C-alpha cells in the first residue's frame, strides 16, 4: 500500500516512511491510495477478539511490516489496557456505549498512541536511528503520548504544557512518568505559545533534521489506522447482538481524527447508516456540514477541553476525498482558507447533504451537563463531558431501525469538576489508575516562553542522554 499527500507535491511513500514523516514534506496529509473493500470478511471478523481484529485491519495498510512483527506489536499495544475486551460495548438506555478509556491515561488517545509507541520502537530498531518527539499539549494528548513511548529504545519525548493551566490530574499523569527518555516542560505561557514554539522548532529545518524531530499529533496516519479498528469491533458486535444490518456512530469531535477513522471504516464496507459528528460550542465543523461554509472563529473554553479546537487538521483528509482526490483543487481551497479564514464547499453533485454519512450537531454546556445528569439518574452510568456531548447529539438523531454506538472517549475520573457540576459531587468520579498517581515522585523543568530556551534545553538533553548511554 502506498500513501500520497493531499497536496500532491511528492512521490507516494510506503507505510513505515509515512509513520516516521508524520506530516508530508509538501505540508499535506498522507492518505492510502485506496481503501480496501473488506465486505466479504465481515462475518469472519465478527468473531475475533480485539487484538486479532486489529491485526487483520492493520495488515492491509502496514504491508511493509512482517506479519509476525505486526502481530507482536499489536498484541503488546493492547495488553496495556486494563479491560480484557480492550474496548467493551455496553448497552446503556437507548444507546450502545463504546468505552475507549481503559488504556493507561484513561482517554481514547491511548488506543492509537500505545500502538504508535511500539511502532516507532520497531522501525527504529530496524533502521538504527533515533527519534526526538516534540509536542505541545493542553492535557490529554501529552499524557497519552508520554505513556506510549516511555522507556522505549531510540525515542525521546519532549512535551510542553502551559505551566499551571492543565488540570491537576492531567499534570500528574505526565510529570509522574520519570523514565529517562521523558522530558516534561512546564512552559511559562499558554497552550498557543507552546504550539507556536513547536511550529518554530519544526520550521527550523536544520534543527529538525539534526535532531530527527518527530510528531505524534493526529495528523499521523498510524493514529487514524489504529482507530479504524474499533469501528469494526463495535459495529460488528452490535449488529450481531441486535440483528440489525446497519449501525450508526456518534463521535465527540475536535480535530476530526476519530470520526475520520469511522469514515474510513465505512469506505471499507462496514455498513454504516450515519456518522454523527458532535461538537461543543467550538462548532466550526457542525456549521460546515450543515451549511457548506468553513469559517474560523475564536476558541471558547468548555467542559470538554479536548474538543476546544477551531481549525481541525484532519478535515483536509475528508476534503481531499470529497474533491475526488484532486490535489490541485484541494490546494486552491486551502489557499483561500489560509488567506481569508473562510471557504465554501459544494455538496457532491446530486447530493442534498454535504456528505453521505456525516450528520453534524452541537451540544452546549447546559445540554452536556443535563445529559450527564440524566444518564446518571436514569441508568446509573457516569459519562465524561466529552462523551456526553456525543450522547446529547445522538439522542436527537435516534432511528428505531438502526442501533446507535456512542463513543466514550474519556473516563469521568479525568474531569471531576464537570461531574461535580452535573450531579453535585465528584465522589463517584474515581479510578484506581488516578488514585495510584497521588504521592508519586514527579519531574518537570520550568522554562520561559522562548523558542531559543526550549531549543537549548532539547539540545543539551539529547547530548547528555547520548553521553550517558555511551558510557
Ligand atoms: C482528543 C479528544 C477528542 C476529540 O477527538 P478528535 O480526534 O480530535 O476529533 C474527544 N474526546 C477526548 C476525551 C479527547 O481526548
Instruction: Render pLDDT for 204-220 as a digit per residue (tens, 0 to 9).
Output: 889 988 999 988 877 89
Residue 304 has pLDDT above 90, yes or no: yes
**pLDDT over 80 (residue 46):** yes
Does the pLDDT at position 119 exceed 70?
A: yes
Q: How far is residue 255's CA from residue 137's CA, in Å, rounded to a whole number?
A: 13
Q: Residues with catalytic annotation?
A: 109
Q: Give the number of other Cβ atoms within 10 Å of residue 397's Cβ.
A: 15
- Among 150, 138, 145, which residue's Cα sits nearest to residue 116? 145
Cβ within 8 Å of residue 374, ≥6 positions away: none
List helix spans (H) across 80-180: 109-127, 140-149, 168-175
Structure confidence by residue, pLDDT tens digits, 61-79: 999 999 999 999 999 999 9
Nearest to 419 by CA among 385, 395, 390, 396: 385
CA of 170 to the centre of ligand 1 (A): 15
Mean pLDDT to the nearest integer, 216-226: 90
What's the average model confidence in pLDDT over 438-462? 97
Q: Cα-atom radius of gyration of the chain, to the nearest Å?
A: 21
pLDDT bucket at 184, cuts 50 / 70 / 90:
very high
- pLDDT for the residue 471: 64
Which residues form ligand 1's pocket by a CB distance below 6 Å?
107, 109, 140, 218, 252-258, 306-307, 386, 409-410
List the residue whose alpha carbon is closest to atom 1 of ligand 1: 306
Average pLDDT in the 128-144 region? 90
pLDDT classification of 450: cutoffs 50, 70, 90: very high
Helix (H) or strand (E) holding 266: helix 257-267
Domain ranges of the chain: 89-105+222-432
User: How far is the centre of ligand 1, averaged over its atoms, from the C-alpha of 409 (Å)?
Assistant: 7
Which cell numbers hold the place of 33? 491510495
- Specify the pLDDT at position 273: 98
State the pLDDT confidence band at 373, using cuts at 50, 70 and 90: very high
**String of DSSP letters for 201-237:** HHH-HHHHHHTTEE--STTSHHHHHHHHHHHHHHHHH
Q: What's the whole-number mean pLDDT along residues 329-354? A: 92
C-alpha cell at 103: 488504556
Tell me the mean pLDDT in the region 448-460.
Answer: 97
Whole-number Å distance between alpha carbons of 30 and 192:
25
3-state secondary structure of 224: helix
Mean pLDDT computed over 314-327: 96
How many Å apart are CA 360 and CA 350, to the nearest integer? 20
Q: Which of 222, 306, 317, 412 to mutate to test the pocket of ligand 1 (most atoms within 8 A of CB)?
A: 306
Residue with the smallest CA separation from ligand 1 atom 2 is 306
Candidate of 386, 388, 412 to mutate for ligand 1, largest count of ligand atoms within 8 Å of Cβ: 386
CA of 227 to the centre of ligand 1 (A): 12
Map grid coordinates 441486535 to a residue: 242
DSSP characters over 39-94: GGGHHHHTT--HHHHHHHHHHTT-TTS-HHHHHHHHHHHHHTSSSTTSS-EEEETT
Q: What is the distance, to the nearest Å, from the Cα of residue 120 to the centroid of all Cα atoms in its chain?
A: 17
Question: Which neighbouring-strand residues pair with 405?
Answer: 96, 249
Segment (H or E) for 454: helix 451-470
CATH topology of domain 89-105+222-432: Rossmann fold (3.40.50)
Residue 256 contacts residue 250 (beta carbons within 8 Å): no
Amino acid at each position: 500500500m502506498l500513501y500520497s499527500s493531499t497536496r500532491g507535491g511528492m512521490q507516494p511513500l510506503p507505510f513505515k516512511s509515512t509513520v516516521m514523516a508524520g506530516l508530508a514534506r509538501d505540508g499535506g496529509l498522507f492518505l492510502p491510495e485506496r481503501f480496501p473493500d473488506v465486505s466479504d470478511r465481515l462475518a469472519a471478523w465478527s468473531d475475533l477478539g480485539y487484538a486479532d481484529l486489529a491485526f487483520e485491519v492493520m495488515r492491509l495498510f502496514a504491508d511493509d511490516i512482517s506479519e509476525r512483527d505486526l502481530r507482536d506489536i499489536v498484541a503488546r499495544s493492547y495488553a496495556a489496557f486494563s479491560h480484557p475486551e480492550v474496548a467493551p460495548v455496553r448497552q446503556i438506555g437507548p444507546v450502545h456505549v463504546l468505552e475507549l478509556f481503559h488504556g493507561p491515561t484513561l482517554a481514547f488517545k491511548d488506543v492509537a498512541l500505545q500502538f504508535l509507541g511500539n511502532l516507532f520502537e520497531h522501525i527504529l530498531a530496524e533502521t538504527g536511528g533515533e527519534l526526538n518527539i516534540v509536542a505541545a499539549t493542553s492535557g490529554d494528548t501529552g499524557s497519552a503520548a508520554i505513556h506510549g513511548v516511555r522507556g522505549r529504545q531510540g525515542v525521546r519525548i519532549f512535551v510542553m504544557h502551559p505551566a499551571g493551566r492543565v488540570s491537576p490530574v492531567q499534570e500528574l499523569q505526565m510529570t509522574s512518568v520519570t523514565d529517562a527518555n521523558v522530558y516534561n516542560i512546564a512552559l511559562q505561557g499558554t497552550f498557543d505559545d507552546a504550539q507556536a514554539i513547536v511550529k518554530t522548532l519544526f520550521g527550523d529545518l536544520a534543527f529538525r533534521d539534526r535532531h530527527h524531530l518527530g510528531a505524534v499529533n493526529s495528523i499521523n496516519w498510524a493514529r487514524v489506522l489504529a482507530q479504524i479498528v474499533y469501528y469494526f469491533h463495535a459495529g460488528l458486535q452490535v449488529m450481531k447482538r441486535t440483528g440489525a444490518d446497519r449501525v450508526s456512530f456518534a463521535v465527540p469531535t475536535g480535530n476530526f481524527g476519530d470520526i475520520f477513522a469511522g469514515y474510513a471504516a465505512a469506505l471499507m464496507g462496514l455498513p454504516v447508516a450515519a456518522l454523527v459528528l458532535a461538537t461543543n460550542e467550538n462548532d466550526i465543523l457542525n456549521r460546515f456540514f450543515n451549511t457548506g461554509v468553513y469559517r474560523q472563529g475564536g476558541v471558547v473554553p468548555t467542559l470538554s477541553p479536548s474538543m476546544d479546537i477551531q481549525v481541525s487538521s484532519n478535515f483536509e483528509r475528508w476534503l481531499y476525498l470529497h474533491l475526488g482526490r484532486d490535489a490541485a483543487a484541494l490546494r486552491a481551497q486551502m489557499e483561500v482558507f489560509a488567506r481569508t479564514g473562510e471557504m465554501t464547499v459544494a455538496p457532491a453533485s446530486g447530493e442534498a447533504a454535504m456528505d453521505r454519512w456525516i450528520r453534524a450537531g452541537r451540544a452546549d454546556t447546559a445540554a452536556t451537563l443535563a445529559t450527564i445528569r440524566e444518564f446518571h439518574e436514569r441508568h446509573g452510568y457516569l459519562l465524561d463531558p466529552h462523551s456526553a456531548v456525543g450522547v446529547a447529539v445522538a439522542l436527537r438523531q435516534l432511528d428505531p431501525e438502526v442501533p446507535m454506538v456512542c463513543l466514550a472517549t474519556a473516563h469521568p475520573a479525568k474531569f471531576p469538576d464537570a461531574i461535580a457540576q452535573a450531579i453535585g459531587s465528584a465522589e463517584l468520579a474515581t479510578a484506581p489508575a488516578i488514585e495510584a498517581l497521588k504521592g508519586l515522585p514527579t519531574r518537570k523543568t520550568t522554562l520561559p516562553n522562548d523558542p531559543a530556551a526550549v531549543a537549548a534545553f532539547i539540545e543539551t538533553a539529547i547530548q547528555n542522554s547520548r553521553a550517558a548511554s555511551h558510557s
